[in-house]
Structure 1
Amino acid sequence: MAINSALQYPHSTGEAGTNKESAVREIRHWCGGYLRRHPGVALETVGHQFVLGIRAIQYLCVDIATGRFSFAEFVQQAAFMARTAVLPTLFVAIPIGVTLSIQFGLLAGQVGATSLAGAASGLTVVRQGAPLVAAILMASAVGSAICADLGSRRIREEIDAMEVMGVQVVRRLVAPRLAAGIVVAIALTGLTCFVGFLAGYLFNTYVQKGTPGSFVATFASFATVGDFVLTLFKAAVFGAIVAIVGCQKGLSTKGGPAGVANSVNATVVASILLLMIVNVVFTQVYQLVMPRQGF
């Protein structure tokens, strides 16, 4: 029976083997192409973002010095960014402050250090929580909005029309958004610091029955002015990263409406990834330059 089947279908086993080899070959080709393409594309994208950021900073400084800066566009974009990100940032900052108080309260209760709750708020909310919360919300809400706006203009060929008319796109569109992103990021970070500290203070005082004076005293002992300056500096850098990544992804959009959606997705992912990397670098450098000291 097996011999008859082989005689009746002589090509069945050969075709199955050929299809299997073809599938394996396609998988190897795809994997090799993926590994060859994506590192190069990633480096090229980072290079474009770096060049765009340098050009935008140059135009921003020159235009402010010469009085050619578009303050109307700056105010409009800053108001839009603040309106988009302020409420989500507040709604995220409050539970983060409360969560940190809960976690530290559980840990401090085991070692008998409940009086250091204010120090925990100073070290976590001010130094790490506030800039990261503001930056992530900026990347999610503001960065995606910037990319969608510029990407829509790109597929409608408005950017091409501006370039044909001799309008410098980086000066007209990117520089005001860069300045607005920096200002709004600093403002949101300061607001997040206050809200996070207030949420931790109220929760520690009224729920965990902590001492208000001890909370404020330990906060003032551990949280220094240098920590707050570093936080605001990180916020400015984070805001610039979000604005530049959103502008670069939006200006390089192609492929119609689906391309805009892909660019928005790539903006959020790339922004958050860069923010985490830069935050680690800043934190480590600050620890090396200004090590912590005891009481």
Structure 2
Amino acid sequence: MSDTVDWAKGYWEDHPKRSLETFGRQITMGFAAVAELFIAIFRRRFPYKEFIKQCAFMSSVAAAPTLLVAIPIGVIVSIQVGAVAGQVGATSFIGAANGLGIIQQGAPLVTSLMIAGAVGSAICADLGSRTIREEIDAMRVMGVDPLRRLVAPRLGAAMLVSVLLCGFVVFVGFLTGYIFNIFAQGGTPGSYIGTFSSFAVTVDLLVALVKSLIFGLLAAIIACDTGLNTRGGPGGVANSVNSAVVSSAIMLFGVNLLITQIYNVLLPPQVV
């Protein structure tokens, strides 16, 4: 009996308790970092050089993978929608279904994967390397706040780059689906554009951009927290990067589901 109790206590200490502590630490750091971001901008202490540097770095890391993923996503959505529309005799509505699918779900999901996999891993590896080299401790000793100097610029850059990536995926995905439908599925340009414009509304794009903004914020918070709490030398950096990517992907997919459900409840699809 005592062995079972000891095992349960050890399991609680190693898994659920540690997970709750990590989640609470990330929430605390997230609020503090966002507050520091706005305070630094208002007081003109925001490190714009670091912000621009991080924007350029994140864009260079994520732009090419995003393009390579957005093209097949547009083709796959077009193929699946075209097959279903052909079975039910609704081929004239392929443009609406394809375009809305890319805007509402395809673009945010591709953005979340790129932010979690490319941007988040880069942030975590950078801060994790600084942590094990004791650069973060040295900054605190010198009176430099890591939240203002390192975390806040990365949060702002991740949010901006995430929104830009989402818009990029929307454009590439819709254009790819349009070209594929016209030249491979025998669709007509007027029908594709006409049905899309009849069903799509501006709010759809705004919600997708808001999703990507939230994804960038959450991925940056998780990556920064994991990197700043790296332990165990170079091997610990690899473990932190893996943890940050997995945690970010799970969190972003869950948040995407929640936002989608709230949007569908508050703004149900219109009947045309």
Q: TM above 0.5, one fold?
A: yes
Tell me the equivalent position of 1:258: 235
Structure 1 window deviating more from structure 2 (235-244 vs 216-225): it is 216-225
Residue in structure 2 matched with residue 158 of structure 1 by the alignment: 135
Q: 1:282 aligns with which of 230, 255, 259?
A: 259
Query: Is the Cα contact below 8 Å between 2:81 and 2:98 reproduced in 1?
Result: no
2:194 pairs with 1:217: yes
Quote the residue 1:79 is aligned against.
Answer: 56
For the residues of structure 1 that align with 2:195 and 2:10, how far apart are their CA atoms?
56
Distance of 1:220 and 1:38 partners within structure 2? 49
How many residue pairs get aligned? The number is 272
Find the counterpart in structure 2 of residue 62 from structure 1.
Answer: 39
TM-score, normalised by the number of residues in structure 2:
0.96
Provide the C-alpha distance between the structure 2 equivalents of 1:206 and 1:27, rounded to a whole number of angstroms.
65
Q: Give the C-alpha shift of residue 41 in structure 1.
A: 1.1
Identify if the C-alpha distance between structure 1 residues 30 and 89 changes in structure 2 by more than 3 Å, giving closer, same or farther. Answer: farther
1:45 match: 22
Match of 1:182 in 2: 159
Is residue 74 of structure 2 the alignment partner of residue 97 of structure 1?
yes
Q: Alpha-carbon deviation of 1:90?
A: 0.7
Provide the residue aligned with 2:179 in structure 1. 202
On the 8 A contact 1:56/1:170 being kept in 2, the answer is yes
Using the TM superposition, give the Cα deviation of residue 65 of structure 1 relative to its aligned residue in structure 2, in angstroms. 1.1
Q: Quote the offset at 1:285 in angstroms.
A: 0.7
- Work out whether 1:238 is the aligned partner of 2:215: yes
| 1:27–1:204 CA distance, 2 compared to 1 (3 A) | farther
Deviation at 1:46, TM superposition (A): 1.0
Q: Which letter does structure 2 place at the counterpart of 1:178? A: L
Q: Unpaired runs of 5+ in structure 2? A: none
Partner of 2:224: 247
Give 1:26 shift. 7.9
Q: Who wins on radius of gyration, i.e. which is larger?
A: 1
Deviates more, 1:35-44 or 1:86-95: 35-44
Q: CA deviation at 1:30?
A: 5.1
Q: 1:137 aligns with which of 104, 114, 131?
A: 114
The answer (yes or no) to whether the contact 2:218–2:248 under 8 Å persists in 1 is: yes
* Correspondent of 1:270 among 234, 247, 271: 247
3-state SS of paired residue (1:229):
helix
Q: CA RMSD in A?
A: 1.6
Paired letter, 2:186: K
Give the letter aligned to residue 263 of structure 1.
Answer: S
Alpha-carbon distance between aligned partners in 2 of 1:48 and 1:41, rounded to the nearest angstrom: 10
Percent identical:
54
State the TM-score, normalized to the length of structure 1: 0.89
Q: Which runs of 5+ in 1 are unaligned?
A: 1-24
- In 2, the alpha carbon distance for the partners of 1:267 and 1:210 equals 43
Q: Kindly indicate whether the alpha-carbon contact (under 8 Å) linking 2:107 and 2:170 is maintained by their aligned counterparts in 1.
A: yes
Q: 1:279 to 1:116 in 2, by over 3 A?
A: same
Q: Kindly provide the amino acid, as one letter, of the partner of residue 240 in structure 1.
A: L
Shift of 1:33: 2.6
Segments of 4+ moved more than 2 angstroms: 25-37
What residue identity is the alignment partner of 1:38? H
State the one-letter code of the partner of 1:253. Answer: T
